[in-house]
């Protein structure tokens, strides 16, 4: 499984952050996220989690990409592949006792799931990740189903103008966190008024500079527990 890794030169025992891409895979925007995190002192790893089903970079049509690749990626496969990334990071001198995860869109959903999967995770930041949806063999549970099983607190960053994630889903997730376990109660969701989906994606028309910068600072503060 290919992955893009960034880390400060000549340093070891670094806290590790997994960076989970949107449906488009690990392109330049995601690679840049890892470099920005490396500049903050992290070993940041962005794995190509969909490549077993197909190459997202080979698709120009989003609907076709979702139908032929994204919809065929099992959650269990993703969890196993992320576990492999953590093991690899440990073999390369990363400090996986200080493990964080962040993801965008599709990767935001995976962030919630992995924070409920791996007890090594200490903090997660989910950028506009889907919270609920249809249940299937490939996607047996969603974030709202796992709110009470989180192993680490997650910060959710959402926009009130996101047409794909309605505010009632966000409110239900907030209620589920409030009645969940300790990690759930320590979790938080911040909603940016009038921000659309993908407001952090600086290569897309949805980009909102103020919200993106504020969310980035909130993420860094959330990850301070890893330092």
Residues taking part in catalysis: 105, 162, 197
**Rounded to whole angstroms, how far apart are CA atoms 165 and 11?**
40
**Rounded to whole angstroms, how far apart are CA atoms 118 and 112?**
11
- Please, which residues have CB within 8 angstroms of residue 186's CB and are 6 or more apart in sequence? 153
Phi, psi at residue 207, to the nearest 5°? Answer: -60, 135
| Backbone region of residue 210 per phi and psi (left: phi > 0; alpha: psi in -120 to 50; beta: other values) | alpha
**Rounded to whole angstroms, how far apart are CA atoms 86 and 95?**
9
Compute CA 210 distance to the chain's CA centroid, rounded to the nearest angstrom: 20
Closest CA to 170 of 179, 157, 185: 157
Query: Do residues 21 and 55 lie in contact, with contact meaning Cβ atoms separated by under 8 Å?
Result: no
**Rounded to whole angstroms, how far apart are CA atoms 163 and 192?**
13
């Amino acid at each position: 499984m290919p992955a893009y890794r960034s880390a400060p030169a000549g340093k070891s025992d670094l806290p590790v952050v997994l960076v989970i891409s949107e449906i488009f895979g690990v392109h330049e925007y995601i690679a840049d996220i890892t470099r920005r995190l490396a500049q903050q002192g992290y070993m940041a790893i962005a794995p190509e989690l969909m490549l077993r089903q197909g190459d997202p970079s080979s698709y120009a049509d989003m609907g076709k990409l979702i139908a032929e690749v994204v919809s065929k990626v099992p959650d269990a496969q993703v969890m196993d592949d992320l576990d492999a990334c953590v093991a690899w990071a440990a073999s390369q001198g990363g400090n996986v006792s200080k493990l964080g995860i962040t993801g965008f869109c599709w990767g935001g959903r995976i962030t919630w799931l992995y924070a409920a999967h791996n007890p090594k995770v200490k903090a997660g930041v989910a950028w506009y990740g889907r919270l609920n949806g249809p249940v299937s063999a490939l996607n047996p549970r969603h974030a709202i189903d796992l709110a009470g099983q989180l192993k680490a607190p997650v910060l959710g960053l959402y926009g009130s103008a996101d047409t794909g994630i309605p505010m009632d889903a966000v409110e239900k997730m907030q209620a589920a966190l409030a009645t969940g376990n300790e990690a759930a109660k320590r979790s938080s969701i911040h909603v940016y008024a009038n921000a659309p989906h993908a407001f952090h994606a600086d290569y897309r028309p949805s980009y909102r500079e103020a919200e993106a910068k504020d969310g980035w600072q909130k993420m860094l503060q959330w990850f301070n527990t890893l330092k």
